[in-house]
Amino acid sequence: SPALSAEEVAAFYRDPENLPRIRYSMILFNWFAGGLVPLLALLVLQIRRMAHRTPIFSYAILACAAGGPTIFLMANLFWLLAAFRPERDPQLTLLFNDLAWVTFSTQVGFLIAQSVILALAIYLDRQARPVFRRWVAHFNLVVAALLIPSAFAGAAMTGPIAWDGLLTFWVRNVAVGLWIIVMAVVLGQAIARQRTEDEAAT
């Protein structure tokens, strides 16, 4: 909880049961964030197949793809630093913990922009058979809306928008997880359809 004191946060990190869990989960989280890059790269390639008069959508998604995982990696780094020397001054442990949670919770701008840009790209794809169906655009706008409350987590210590609150933690993380699953499925379908069309053309 963001309402915990420095001594309580330091005690959490010094707990012999919690400490290895924090360290190894951050290592796993690091790999997970890196694993998002191929998914986002495939998304950029599919946007390039859309019928647009400008390549701005693919470049914009590419920028979001570079920013989003980087922010998650920074949060991961701060948690790992808090657990690296748990015997340090509790105020420093609290600082690293705050840096991690605020970074992880509030920096949703890239994710919101990514979903909105993707939705616009889908809406403006004027092909007879578009790369993605329009419901994918609607889905991305819903995800973007669900992420907005997280941007305000740095302004609340308790309640639904605090970093452990309903909107910022549960709704936001479920939305991100659902986005990854849905987009992985529709990307797979789009790639399979593209291969079938290329083979038929050959």
Report pLDDT digits (tens) over 35-83. 888 888 899 999 998 988 788 998 999 888 887 778 888 999 999 999 9
Distance separating alpha carbons of residues 66 and 129, to the nearest angstrom = 29
Q: What is the pTM of this model?
A: 0.90
Distance separating alpha carbons of residues 75 and 182, to the nearest angstrom = 25
The pLDDT confidence band at residue 1, using thresholds 50, 70 and 90, is very high
Q: b or e along 8-47 (b: 16 or more beta carbons within 10 Å of the residue's beta carbon)?
A: ebbebbeeeeeeeebbeebeebeeebeeeeeebebbbebb
Distance separating alpha carbons of residues 108 and 152, to the nearest angstrom = 10
